[in-house]
Chain A
């Protein structure tokens, strides 16, 4: 019984290996490999057939038998190699694999129906040679273009033994016959044996244990003077280190274990897309830890499929553009700086950046204006956003827009990075960098709440230590969220003790900040103490602790105690530094939109929000600025509204839509501000307008915008330093969406309102209620006085420059009615801002 199991197990392992090899060889054969391959394929299938007959697996035998017959005729030159045949033979290997898997799982062959495969093999078998084969050729691209390896009519030496082989039990494969790189089967013949993974893991653990004992022993050595003991312990030290390296090496596998599947995938896909693709590989023997190999399998496969499906053009198109009709997919792997680099290059059409632009606007992830300013690189990286696909049509292969972001996430999960470069018409290269191993990693050890924690060094950017005065003053807060200005950029801070809910007193005199990278965001982790860097052995946590996202595992420190390994990504998510993919995408877009390269300047409307916080929104989003007397406010249900140009304008109070932290929420309708008027930012949201009530309009400035961090609360996109003060960028879209989702009353009246002025302008009119649009100009004029008054009591004279808005704004208001809001406001703004700038300079100097 046991012996039988053993035989079966061996058969399964061997069969799978053979099938893998047959599959590779078939694809190679089609690409023009020598006829030796054919003999090797024949032998492989024959071996499987023979053994399964012996073990009594009838289905598998029938399947492989038919395949073998076909292969036999092929080898004898009775029929010519044809894509159909390769497809059928590949289908046979698939079927055989399914059966093998079933045997492995249940011990039986399963009840799959393989008659179709057998039939198609049979049909090909009966088909007379060349002429009919061509006639029957399916609409594939010209068969002739296939590397014609005309099967020589004269029997090869090997084939003479064929008839005997057909009936005989599996003959010992003449191993020496095929001179090519057939050694990947890993048989004992070439000095390799199969080792159980469990055994390897156990060895690894034992070595870890040995290292620990060695460390403890070395500590003793220091106290003893016995020269003999000293020598022995030194040798032990050396041997242990070597043993550790050896075991680590044993866990490494060549990347070819993953790559070897690709030619088949590419072949099938290319046939399905009617394309011609050749796969080239360099550095197949580059070694990686087996856990990493597992982790990159799916992302790589996805990238390969993408490249064939989207990257490489149809043969006709390629010829038109002066390329060879056969596309090339080039895979390259190499070690560099303790990391493994993998590059996937295709010589296809490249990414159509125009389409990306288009798509970005269409999907609403960015504005036309913003994308037009983006660099090629920024555009390229947009495709890593969730839900972004530029495929013209959704195929069953790709184009569903769920691919690239997953690729990126998966690579980042194992501490890697992805980057894409594309040249229109010449192709695309995806570069992946991943760590060599996950088992032993360099880590930074920190202390917090009396315990030590290890932080993987791949995430580490730098260490910042604040002492004395800097410690007390260096950390500012935005609505309770701490930030630190790192070389002028805002770095969100996360307190490890708080995240882990540890009790402990933060030391007032010094602050240790570990600057970490989580995805494309960085944040500062405040710890009690930074200890040292160490190579640590990563061990998984028990299943009772699997659910804690803050930890990636545990490790044993030099003194034998256990330390937890922090999961930087998990921690970032836990503390909202990185929110969901959606939030992140939105921020990225917002950042791209606002920043679009550091040289881009934006005009921003600054105002004072609740809690005296300074906030900003891009002026392009603002339709008008208005000022209403408080008495004109009316209520419908729980919503404040005001009559505005014959419409009902729904008002959102910033203090209500933003979560206030410090102040008690204002009861009911917000208290009336100074002067009995409220300041409203009118914002065009789709077809309707809404008003955002702010505490005070402060300024309109032009500035470099680079959002430094994810918003710490809903409704805020991020923050930045403007005019030397921390200013939050309001997510006006999100606020309006959120608010109308909560209670949409009062919105009905504003349905038809067009708000076409498009002028941002600070035209605040006193008494708009009930008036109609005809008063446009006059109300714009009235705003001068209004504006200056408003400014006066906010920021002092230096800022009192809204007056400057007068001329351009009037002009816009008058002629503005029919113009498209965005286009208009963009222009008007620039002008206005310039004017204002001058004015401000003037005001300051005077």
Chain B
């Protein structure tokens, strides 16, 4: 019996990522956001998800990827956390994929930096790699970096 897992996939800066499908509450298109001055840089803003206030994290910034071009509007991947729902902002949404556990490999030693902490590993698909991210770690932010410090808050 081959173990299979399902991932909700999305793209970030051309890379292919996935989050376990059980963790995803919903995927919604771009929402108007309210920025949070003095907040961490990764926090892009707050969205109103049917009366619930949800914090939106810019996953590009969180993973240390280049900034998203200003004219591109991100999508929200809303994940369930212990602290309620949280939105991860991604470039584009992919399909829900079913992958075989045997195709999994831990990230190579050469992968360093913030990304290594946050990536569980890669599934070797036919034509590309599916990187799976550790949502628990992703939503835990280091307190130090704030908008003002990085100058990114004025977008």
A residues contacting B by CB (< 8 A) are 205-206, 208-209, 212, 449, 451, 500-503, 539, 541-545, 547-548, 550-551, 554-556, 560-564
Segment of B20-28, B35-43, B122-130 engaged in the interface with chain A: B35-43
Is A556's CB under 8 angstroms from B48's CB? yes
Is B34's CB under 8 angstroms from A561's CB? yes
Is A502's CB under 8 angstroms from B46's CB? no
B29 vs chain A, min Cβ distance (A): 15
B50 near A: Cβ within 8 Å?
A: yes
User: Which of B35, B51, B55 is the one whose CB lies under 8 Å from A541?
Assistant: B55
Is A550's CB under 8 angstroms from B38's CB? yes
Is B48's CB under 8 angstroms from A542's CB? no
Is B148's CB under 8 angstroms from A501's CB? yes
Is A544's CB under 8 angstroms from B48's CB? no
User: Which of A544, A551, A563 is the one whose CB lies under 8 Å from B141?
Assistant: A544
B136 vs chain A, min Cβ distance (A): 13
Name the CB-closest residue of B to A212: B51
User: Which of B34, B53, B141, B147 is the one whose CB lies under 8 Å from A539?
Assistant: B53
B28 vs chain A, min Cβ distance (A): 14
Chain A residues closer than 8 Å to B108, beta-carbon distance = none
Chain A residues closer than 8 Å to B45, beta-carbon distance = 562
* B50, B51, B84, B141 — most chain A CB neighbours (10 Å): B51
* B39, B83, B86 — most chain A CB neighbours (10 Å): B39
B52 near A: Cβ within 8 Å?
A: yes
Is A545's CB under 8 angstroms from B43's CB? yes
Known: A541-B53, A548-B38. 10 other contacts (CB 8 A): A208-B51, A209-B51, A449-B37, A500-B37, A541-B55, A542-B84, A544-B141, A548-B39, A562-B45, A562-B53
A563 vs chain B, min Cβ distance (A): 6
Is B50's CB under 8 angstroms from A209's CB? yes
CA A551 to CA B139, docked complex, whole Å: 20
A559 vs chain B, min Cβ distance (A): 9
A50 vs chain B, min Cβ distance (A): 39
B19 near A: Cβ within 8 Å?
A: no
Chain A residues closer than 8 Å to B38, beta-carbon distance = 500-501, 548, 550
Chain A residues closer than 8 Å to B34, beta-carbon distance = 451, 554, 561-564
With A562-B53, A563-B34 as given contacts, are A554 and B83 in contact (CB-CB < 8 Å)? no
* 21 sample A-B contacts, Cβ–Cβ < 8 Å, listed by A number: A205-B51, A205-B52, A208-B51, A209-B52, A212-B48, A449-B37, A502-B37, A502-B153, A502-B154, A539-B52, A539-B53, A544-B86, A545-B36, A545-B39, A548-B36, A548-B39, A550-B37, A550-B38, A554-B46, A556-B53, A560-B32
Is A544's CB under 8 angstroms from B53's CB? no
Is A501's CB under 8 angstroms from B147's CB? yes
Is B83's CB under 8 angstroms from A542's CB? yes
Q: Which of B120-155 contact A (CB under 8 A)?
A: 139, 141, 143, 147-148, 153-154
Chain A residues closer than 8 Å to B39, beta-carbon distance = 544-545, 548
Name the CB-closest residue of B to A211: B51
CA A554 to CA B36, docked complex, whole Å: 10
B119 near A: Cβ within 8 Å?
A: no
Is A560's CB under 8 angstroms from B48's CB? yes
The 4 closest A-B pairs by CB, nearest first: A209-B51, A500-B37, A501-B148, A542-B55
B151 vs chain A, min Cβ distance (A): 10
B115 vs chain A, min Cβ distance (A): 19
Chain A residues closer than 8 Å to B59, beta-carbon distance = none
A549 vs chain B, min Cβ distance (A): 9
B78 vs chain A, min Cβ distance (A): 12
With A543-B83, A547-B143 as given contacts, are A561 and B32 in contact (CB-CB < 8 Å)? yes
Chain A residues closer than 8 Å to B143, beta-carbon distance = 547
Kindly count the residue-residue contacts between A and B in the assembled complex, taking CB atoms under 8 Å apart. Answer: 79
User: Which of A205, A545, A550 is the one whose CB lies under 8 Å from B55?
Assistant: A545
B76 vs chain A, min Cβ distance (A): 13
B72 vs chain A, min Cβ distance (A): 21
- Taking chain A's interface residues, is the majority helix, strand, or loop, or is none over half, making it mixed? mixed
B89 near A: Cβ within 8 Å?
A: no
A524 vs chain B, min Cβ distance (A): 19
CA A555 to CA B50, docked complex, whole Å: 12
Name the CB-closest residue of A to B51: A209
CA A556 to CA B54, docked complex, whole Å: 11
CA A561 to CA B46, docked complex, whole Å: 9
CA A563 to CA B45, docked complex, whole Å: 10
CA A19 to CA B39, docked complex, whole Å: 46
With A501-B153, A503-B154, A545-B36 as given contacts, are A562 and B47 in contact (CB-CB < 8 Å)? yes
Chain A residues closer than 8 Å to B147, beta-carbon distance = 501
Chain B residues closer than 8 Å to A545, beta-carbon distance = 36, 39-40, 43, 55
With A502-B37, A544-B139 as given contacts, are A556 and B83 in contact (CB-CB < 8 Å)? no
Q: Which of B60-111 contact A (CB under 8 A)?
A: 83-84, 86
Name the CB-closest residue of B to A204: B51
Is A501's CB under 8 angstroms from B37's CB? yes
Chain A residues closer than 8 Å to B33, beta-carbon distance = 562
B122 vs chain A, min Cβ distance (A): 27
CA A551 to CA B35, docked complex, whole Å: 12
Name the CB-closest residue of B to A448: B37
Chain B residues closer than 8 Å to A206, beta-carbon distance = 51
Chain B residues closer than 8 Å to A542, beta-carbon distance = 53-55, 83-84, 86
Chain B residues closer than 8 Å to A544, beta-carbon distance = 39-40, 42-43, 55, 57, 86, 139, 141
Chain B residues closer than 8 Å to A500, beta-carbon distance = 37-38
Chain B residues closer than 8 Å to A564, beta-carbon distance = 34, 36, 46
B43 vs chain A, min Cβ distance (A): 6
Chain A residues closer than 8 Å to B40, beta-carbon distance = 544-545
Chain B residues closer than 8 Å to A560, beta-carbon distance = 32, 48
Is A562's CB under 8 angstroms from B86's CB? no
A445 vs chain B, min Cβ distance (A): 13
A209 vs chain B, min Cβ distance (A): 3
Name the CB-closest residue of A to B84: A542
CA A544 to CA B43, docked complex, whole Å: 8
Is B43's CB under 8 angstroms from A562's CB? no
With A209-B51, A554-B53 as given contacts, are A562 and B46 in contact (CB-CB < 8 Å)? yes
Name the CB-closest residue of B to A502: B37
CA A451 to CA B39, docked complex, whole Å: 15
CA A500 to CA B40, docked complex, whole Å: 13
CA A561 to CA B32, docked complex, whole Å: 7
Chain A residues closer than 8 Å to B52, beta-carbon distance = 205, 209, 539
Name the CB-closest residue of B to A560: B48
Name the CB-closest residue of B to A549: B38
A735 vs chain B, min Cβ distance (A): 32
CA A554 to CA B133, docked complex, whole Å: 29
Name the CB-closest residue of A to B149: A501
* A205, A503, A543 — most chain B CB neighbours (10 Å): A543
A567 vs chain B, min Cβ distance (A): 11
B36 vs chain A, min Cβ distance (A): 6
* B53, B148, B154 — most chain A CB neighbours (10 Å): B53
Chain A residues closer than 8 Å to B46, beta-carbon distance = 541, 554, 562, 564
Chain A residues closer than 8 Å to B50, beta-carbon distance = 209
CA A551 to CA B153, docked complex, whole Å: 16
User: Which of B48, B57, B154 is the one whose CB lies under 8 Å from A562?
Assistant: B48
Chain B residues closer than 8 Å to A209, beta-carbon distance = 50-52
CA A548 to CA B37, docked complex, whole Å: 9
Name the CB-closest residue of A to B42: A544
B134 vs chain A, min Cβ distance (A): 16
CA A551 to CA B47, docked complex, whole Å: 16
Is B35's CB under 8 angstroms from A451's CB? yes
Chain A residues closer than 8 Å to B139, beta-carbon distance = 544
Q: Which of B2-25 contact A (CB under 8 A)?
A: none
B35 vs chain A, min Cβ distance (A): 7
A692 vs chain B, min Cβ distance (A): 38
A474 vs chain B, min Cβ distance (A): 26
B2 vs chain A, min Cβ distance (A): 33
A506 vs chain B, min Cβ distance (A): 16
CA A556 to CA B45, docked complex, whole Å: 13
Chain B residues closer than 8 Å to A555, beta-carbon distance = 53
B38 vs chain A, min Cβ distance (A): 5
A173 vs chain B, min Cβ distance (A): 41
